[in-house]
Chains A and B, each alone.
Chain A
Amino acid sequence: MISLTHYLLVGACLFCIGLYVALTKRNAIQILIGIELMLNAGILNLVAFGKFDKAANGGQLFALFAIVLAAATTAVALAIILNVYRRYKTIDPNKVDKLKG
């Protein structure tokens, strides 16, 4: 029987992996992937808690909104990364540390 705890453990594992990726990778796209993993860990939690709201299915609905928003933010983030690459000829965030244009 797969209980709530198992979902939450998977979500936590995913979040940690995502965090690790976001903190350690030298590539902006990989970092973006890490962020997506953490976001999905959150969404997984929403879905898991949504099991307890059989009447309105608020959890599932909220998860759908979050996925759509995540897609939008990813698109924006990719656009930013493209622009950064054009300007600095790199997408290593450690080398992009100036606010000045």
Chain B
Amino acid sequence: MAQTLPYQQLTTCYYALTAVVLPVLAFAVNFFLKKGKAAGWISTIAIGATTVFAAIVFKQQWNAPLIHATIPWFTIGGTAVNAGILLNNLSVLLLLLVNVIALPVHIYSMAYMSHDEGFSRYFTYLSFFCFSMLALVVVDNLVLFYAFWELVGFSSYLLIGFWFTRDKAVQANKKAFIMNRIGDVGLLIAIMVLFSQYHTFDLNALFSADGLVANSTLTNGLWINGTSTIPAVWQYLACAGLFLAVAAKSAQFPLHTWLPDAMEGPTSVSALIHAATMVAAGIFLLGRVYPLFSVHELDALAIIGCFTAFMAASIAITQNDLKRILAFSTISQLGFMVMAMGIGAYASSLFHLVTHAFFKCLLFLVAGAVIHEMQHIRDENKLDFDPQNILYMGGLRRKMPITFITAVIAGLALVGLPFTSGYLSKDGILIQAFEWSDTKAGVFKIIPILTLITSWLTAFYVARLVFKVFFGKFRLSEVNPGLKLHVHDGPWKFNVPMIFLAICCLFPVFSLNPFLYEHAWIYKSFLPSNFLERMNPYHTIIPIALNILSLLVIYWAYAVYVLDKKLPLKQNNWLFAFSYYQWYFNEAYQKVFVQPVLAISTGLFAFDRKGIDGLIHFFNRIILWVAKLSAAIDRYVVDGFLHFVVALVRQIGNFARSFQTGRVQYYLLTTVVAIVAWVILKILI
């Protein structure tokens, strides 16, 4: 470390570094071991040790002054770039959260993936992901941030396409990767703009409370930072780039379509990456760069977040694939967090990020356990059905009691009913949304109202999911009475993580008062110091109204799905189809982006084949022809001349040889003729 830090802080830094490095060691060991069941234990022990270190760092650093330790990395021209770690409340919270989610998922995975051929490959990837995510959380500059942002996306790509022999998985990971690339380009643009304005990559120097960004202003279309002034359009560009990055990683409209497809990966991966941690990276980025956004840009964030939340929830109510419902629910909840950032509820957004990580991860683990059993039924009875389709399930609550209870706890937390963590975080967002809209024009009232509606939609789809899966009768048995059913709760490696996460979904973990979100310790730590607690009617009316209506919605779902009352809404109208086909986003993107790109590519390919290759073939032919001509000249002219000379010499030689007969009289005659000829010549001339 370049600067001298107090001993206490230095050890904290080393603990944090150890926490980051351990998973990558596990990755390296697993990578070189290749095969074997040891991989699971190696990764799990590494993440367990990491969790301990993260907990120590968290305990020492939570609500303490931030630690920023750097070493010089490289210098280009006059710009020195440092590499280092930045530990403030945000990073240590995420550091601990990622570990606390990753550890149960690792344990769960050991059982879930135990029969898979790629067992060690799975844990290799998983450790690599944990390393990337933990490093992303603690790094202190934008260059390193970008590097780990990419690595997180890359490990997500590897894990979505884990079963790479399945065509759907390959399509899904390609889609996720391309969508994330769009976001990466946005982040890169933002980093470049920020660097050209502030000449530093340092997150702390840029975004701390009185950092460079906080001290620069936007006036009269100019972006002023001390002496450096550039047009404000660059600031908009930086914000747009950052938003694209957030939208891609956290699956916000318009880049959300990859997340439902990402469910092709193993369910434990979906739980860790596509529900709890990686998708939270976008919110984390927002938290890091929060001071950059101006009021209007925050409004845009709120609008997009709210729209995404509503859209995803409206899709989730009609889906039949268990994991897809949860995926859309994740998009919806991430929309809540983005919206919370937009309305200035910074603390609530991060609080919701934490609580959501626990209950969504738990829901995915439950889904994994259920799908595991359904696959078991399918294989045992040699049937052919989709094990993720909730229409085939039902009545599993008696067979899988632990799974059922944890699912209900997680579901209640997702709906946001009292005594759960979800109640604390979500109601905080709703109340602040109403307070925020009071300060805005009347049109902005739509946002909190849409959020309320989204909450009720959430209640409906969660209730539908739980009732379809765990209540009623097992539907496959109704059509197929002779079915052999050996359905039961999973092994301890399933149950222990699920029970642990279920406990984390309850209120005492976050606040001793189950009804007031302001008392949650995470919430309090993120508030600016000048925050004044405001008490107004919203704080009592909204939670009551929300929860009473949510309970009604749940009862309605119970009536429809368990008591078999008629659904008052028809299933064959366009609204149902609109929701069922996910607002036709995939089809629209297919038409607007994919097909034109494919058409252009096909055209360019044809041009390449016909035009470029044709030209090359043409030159090819000319050169061949010239070469043949040159060969002919060589053979007939150059060689011909030589052959002529040779023949001439040979003729002369032969002619001269013909005199050498060895006969004396001929020699004499030749001499006489020569002398006579010479004499005659002398006489004549």
Contacts and interface: CB of A to CB of B under 8 A. Distances in A.
Interface stretch (A1-9, A44-52, A62-70, A90-98): A90-98
Contacts of A19: 672
Contacts of B662: 97-99
Nearest to A98: B662
Given A93-B663, A93-B665, A98-B662, 8 more contacts: A22-B665, A22-B668, A23-B665, A23-B668, A94-B663, A97-B661, A97-B662, A99-B662
Contacts of A97: 661-663
Interface string A20-37: 001110000001000000
Interface of B: 661-665, 668-669, 672
Counting chain B CB atoms within 10 Å of each CB, which of A31, A94, A98, A99 scores highest? A94
Contacts of B663: 93-94, 97
12 contacts: A19-B672, A22-B668, A23-B665, A23-B668, A24-B665, A93-B663, A93-B664, A93-B665, A97-B661, A97-B662, A97-B663, A99-B662
A31 B661 contact: no
Contacts of A99: 662
Interface string A71-100: 000000000000000000000011001110
A57 to B, nearest CB: 31
Contacts of A31: 665
B607 to A, nearest CB: 81
Contacts of B669: 23
A9 to B, nearest CB: 18
Contact of B672 (A23, A24, A93, A94): A23
A24 B665 CA distance: 8
Nearest to A93: B664
A73 to B, nearest CB: 15
Contacts of A93: 663-665
Listed from nearest, the 8 A-B pairs whose CB atoms lie closest are A97-B662, A93-B664, A97-B663, A94-B663, A23-B669, A23-B665, A93-B665, A23-B668
Which bucket holds chain A's interface residue count? 10 to 19
Nearest to B662: A97
A99 B668 CA distance: 17
A10 B577 CA distance: 145
A31 B669 CA distance: 13
Contacts of A24: 665
Nearest to A25: B665
A82 to B, nearest CB: 17
Contacts of B664: 93
A97 B660 CA distance: 10
B149 to A, nearest CB: 99
A41 to B, nearest CB: 14
A30 to B, nearest CB: 11
A2 B664 CA distance: 38
B579 to A, nearest CB: 117
Contacts of B668: 22-23
Contacts of A98: 662
A22 B664 CA distance: 10
Contacts of A94: 663, 665
A56 to B, nearest CB: 31
A31 B672 CA distance: 15
A80 to B, nearest CB: 11
A98 B663 CA distance: 9
Contacts of A23: 665, 668-669, 672
Contacts of B665: 22-24, 31, 93-94
Contacts of A22: 665, 668
Contacts of B672: 19, 23
Nearest to B672: A19
A22 B672 CA distance: 11
A93 B664 CA distance: 7
A23 B672 CA distance: 10
Nearest to A19: B672
Nearest to B669: A23
A31 B666 CA distance: 13
Counting chain A CB atoms within 10 Å of each CB, which of B661, B668, B669 scores highest? B668
Counting chain B CB atoms within 10 Å of each CB, which of A24, A31, A93 scores highest? A93
A31 B668 CA distance: 11
A99 B663 CA distance: 10
Contacts of B661: 97
A59 to B, nearest CB: 24
B667 to A, nearest CB: 10
A29 to B, nearest CB: 14
A23 B662 CA distance: 14
B672 to A, nearest CB: 7
A44 to B, nearest CB: 20
A17 B39 CA distance: 123
A93 B662 CA distance: 9
A93 B669 CA distance: 14
A13 B668 CA distance: 19
A19 B664 CA distance: 13
A94 B668 CA distance: 12
A23 B668 CA distance: 7
A42 B664 CA distance: 22
Nearest to A22: B668
A93 B661 CA distance: 12
A98 B664 CA distance: 11
B65 to A, nearest CB: 118
A23 B669 CA distance: 7
B657 to A, nearest CB: 14
A7 B464 CA distance: 157
A76 to B, nearest CB: 15
A31 B663 CA distance: 13
A98 B668 CA distance: 17
A38 to B, nearest CB: 11
A24 B664 CA distance: 11
B94 to A, nearest CB: 110
A98 B669 CA distance: 19
A75 to B, nearest CB: 19
A43 B663 CA distance: 28
A54 B665 CA distance: 40
A23 B665 CA distance: 6
A99 B661 CA distance: 11
A83 B664 CA distance: 17
A19 to B, nearest CB: 7
Nearest to A95: B663
A97 B661 CA distance: 7
Nearest to B664: A93
A36 to B, nearest CB: 15
Nearest to A97: B662
A42 to B, nearest CB: 15
A94 B250 CA distance: 116
A80 B669 CA distance: 21
B85 to A, nearest CB: 104
A16 to B, nearest CB: 11
Nearest to A28: B664
Nearest to A26: B665
A99 B667 CA distance: 14
A93 B668 CA distance: 12
